[in-house]
Structure 1
């Protein structure tokens, strides 16, 4: 093998980690593998992607006694006892590391995978996220990494981030999984069969926002002069909500919401990274509402967005009566402020950084990979 190999551990919650990885893989010029749980059977794209390896999921089939011991270890986020899936997961992942001998693994994201990777003597790059990551497990993962990748420019750094973390971070410009388009608002509305009525598009991803329909229903009722289109809520969330939805247009999941974003006067989105970047990529005037997430990820991002004038950032769903004022406030935003976020293609930047670190690691290690058979087949056999 005369080229370094790159591994990507991709977390299974929602699809944001997958989309980010695929955007990077589109530009990566080195052979690569994806390791994940639950989502390995989905279609994956990558220029030189060789395999997608499924490993056991650490949150499946966990007993109540085992779950009760999951937070015992201050250096880890999650380590339940007496859980076969966790034992199998560790064995499968380290078997893959031993067989593939990657030059570097990009961890997006898991402190436990990060620690295993370092213990196995494999260099890693840890993907950062917004949020309060000052806890011991996150800081240990950052220490264990060769570099940290922030999928946002330095201007979007949080004020609470320690200086040493900033110094280790390679900041990226924004990136989006869809192509930029010059289509106008009027043309987008024409293609969607919409008239000229002022339009709010609410975009919520698959990461979970089951209470959102209550707030959106109230928001639409409070702003009768606007058409509200809701993109992305699961049908069961809507059906189980028991609230009126006749004043909402519900599209369900749309893989490419570009036309809807272009048709909007204002976009309302959860303050998740990929949703925000997607709206920003299309220069939408937006209201970003923080959803409850571990480590206050979306809350901290909403603060940054508001600070930088990139969105009206809200730390929680507002009172229904405030929506007219919020929409007016969002309509006054200068969407050209997003130009500085998308100077370069952040996915291409990430690929270049990963290639440089992989090449350096490959050269310094003097290692050679064991002959690659089919690691995914080996792991699947171990699960039988």
Structure 2
């Protein structure tokens, strides 16, 4: 059986799990602080882990803020606060399941500490990595311990100095999208732009919408709040003239799957992950690129520039990527 740790920040990690899971022949048990995702096959186990970053109060009234409990072990780890019951419980639950369910492979997307735990338990360990300047000590430890490292983007797109000495264990799958294989709808005859997700401050979004509308664009904004959420954004994603999106790995893979003309806005993320990805897309001519400080007027100019492009998204290697990751995991099994 394969164990799979799904990080709880954002939707990207669980989206990757949901895309790859159907391609696996081996049963999977997932571990995450996230609730069980809708639509997951009922036979797949989903273990909800307790939170490890909340402030807790002990029985004697002592309050523990994990940020003040030496969580990085003097820079050697990312998150392992002293004395936090949630942190201890979640690692104990993973260790217990490794024994009770006889796990033989453990996929970690992402956590340096869980990579270390899995390898110390003697499990064949797969670390999912991300772009950015990940040359710090915790990442170096995780990469050194992992039996396999999965990089879910196109080989050569993003500089990866931290992986240089581990090349024999890295699998470059290409971008993994839940939409791989779906047929795009016919494009609308009118010029349309999709503002996807929380990529703009509300006032910038409103001003950009007004400016674009004045130039004859039909503007749709989804995913920036609960009211604007759409269960299946594919028709809008694939049918819009231009898509404005964040530069996260799953967002970019979805753009590639749809063949979108795009403006990617690099959000502020640890290790400059999205800036590194946005730079790669601009360098390969796949998207117009901006930072999250972009003005409404500059965004309008980028949208109109993107509309005249013909990006070759095949370079991002989305077709078959989820299957390639599944095959890499199966290959690690004894």
Per the normalisation by structure 2, the TM-score is 0.90
Quote how far apart the aligned CAs of 1:65 are: 4.3
Q: SS in structure 2 opposite 1:156?
A: coil
> Would the alpha carbon gap of residues 260 and 229 (structure 1) be closer, same or farther in structure 2, given more than 3 Å must change?
same
Quote how far apart the aligned CAs of 1:155 are: 3.3
Matches within 5 A, 1:132-151: 132-151=133-152
Quote how far apart the aligned CAs of 1:97 are: 1.5
Question: 2:224 matched to 1:271?
Answer: no
> Would the alpha carbon gap of residues 162 and 55 (structure 1) be closer, same or farther in structure 2, given more than 3 Å must change?
closer
Quote how far apart the aligned CAs of 1:303 are: 0.8
Matches within 5 A, 1:35-114: 35-39=31-35, 41-43=36-38, 45=40, 50-62=44-56, 63=63, 65-68=65-68, 69-114=70-115
Question: 2:202 matched to 1:213?
Answer: yes
Quote how far apart the aligned CAs of 1:161 are: 4.6
Quote how far apart the aligned CAs of 1:175 are: 3.1
Matches within 5 A, 1:272-311: 272-311=248-287
Are the aligned partners of 1:61 and 1:85 in contact in 2 as well (CA < 8 Å)?
no
Are the aligned partners of 1:303 and 1:314 in contact in 2 as well (CA < 8 Å)?
no
Q: SS in structure 1 opposite 2:72?
A: coil
> What's the CA shift string for 1:11-66, capped at 9, x where partnerless?
11122111111111111011211111132x333535x9531112222123445543
> Would the alpha carbon gap of residues 9 and 49 (structure 1) be closer, same or farther in structure 2, given more than 3 Å must change?
farther
Structure 2 gaps of 5+ residues are: 57-62
Over alpha carbons, which structure has the higher Rg? 1
CA distance in structure 1 between the aligned counterparts of 2:222 and 2:105, rounded to whole angstroms: 37
Matches within 5 A, 1:155-234: 155-158=156-159, 160-178=161-179, 179-186=181-188, 196-204=189-197, 209=198, 212-223=201-212, 224-225=214-215, 226-234=217-225
> What's the CA shift string for 1:328-384, capped at 9, x where partnerless?
22123222x1123336410111111111111xxx2xxxxxxxxxxxxxxxxxxxxxx
Structure 1 residue aligned with 2:315, among 340, 353, 370?
Answer: 340
> Would the alpha carbon gap of residues 133 and 215 (structure 1) be closer, same or farther in structure 2, given more than 3 Å must change?
same
> Would the alpha carbon gap of residues 181 and 91 (structure 1) be closer, same or farther in structure 2, given more than 3 Å must change?
same
**Where does residue 373 of structure 1 map in the other structure?**
none
Are the aligned partners of 1:26 and 1:45 in contact in 2 as well (CA < 8 Å)?
no
Structure 1 gaps of 5+ residues are: 187-195, 236-250, 363-384
Structure 1 vs Structure 2 CA RMSD: 2.1
> Would the alpha carbon gap of residues 161 and 112 (structure 1) be closer, same or farther in structure 2, given more than 3 Å must change?
closer
Q: SS in structure 1 opposite 2:46?
A: strand
Quote how far apart the aligned CAs of 1:323 are: 2.7
Per the normalisation by structure 1, the TM-score is 0.79
> What's the CA shift string for 1:55-78, capped at 9, x where partnerless?
222123445543212234322101
